[in-house]
Structure 1
Amino acid sequence: MIKLYEQVTHNGKTYEPNEEIDAKEISQKEAERLVNLEVAFFVGKITEDVELNEKEEIQDDQEDIVEEFEEEISDEEYQSLYKQLDNAFNAEPLQKFAKEHGVDWEGNKKENVIEAIILQDKVEQILAEKE
């Protein structure tokens, strides 16, 4: 079980700060991810499945994604993609389409969703929904 530091939207449901999410609502890997992002912390007994090296692997994977992104896209291109998405969609439809295309994000702000779409290389698919 985890407890949230801040508001989080996960699988289309919004959880408020101090709310607890149990194992029925979230997988162990998803819980670890939220803890690694420092938006939640584990409550109660931590099972043997949660080992330090697994957490380090998740963090390494996230760093690899950031490095790949930094190599592939310039700041100008990022800003251009950001503006396109921001101008094309209001927050709710953007979140809906992002979820349909498998985009995973943290937080409930539109900017969090846009950043995740860009980082996960889903801009073209999401913009195609506007047409």
Structure 2
Amino acid sequence: MQYDEIYQLEVSMWESAKNRNPEAFLNLVSKDAVMVCGGYRCSGREYAEIVAVFDCKTYAIEHFEIVNHEAESIQVHYVLHMEVNHEENRDLSGTFHITTTWKHIDDSWKVVFNMDQRVNG
């Protein structure tokens, strides 16, 4: 797996969330993945339900880096800037550190772990 390929998988995951497409999301995320977002832990399957009503107007990925690269798994870290469409979802807007672990499963790459942490409150 090359840098550009894993970056594009991460973008595809965000695009599926932005487009509120849980099916596309689950093509990239294991149903049993551990998702820790905003201090809340859920499975990939449960997070796909959130994706169906997700509010993302824009996002930008910066400082993308591969922090661990094995033959069957890759862990990445980056900074995400996100804006929402609706004021009631403003807690989703902001800047976040994101880490994702991808694992090669049944001839495709799937997210098995994802975690975010808001930058500066």
Q: Which bin holds the TM-score, normalised by the shorter protein?
A: under 0.3
Q: TM-score by structure 2 length? A: 0.26
Q: TM-score by structure 1 length? A: 0.25
> Over alpha carbons, which structure has the higher Rg?
1
More strand by share: 2
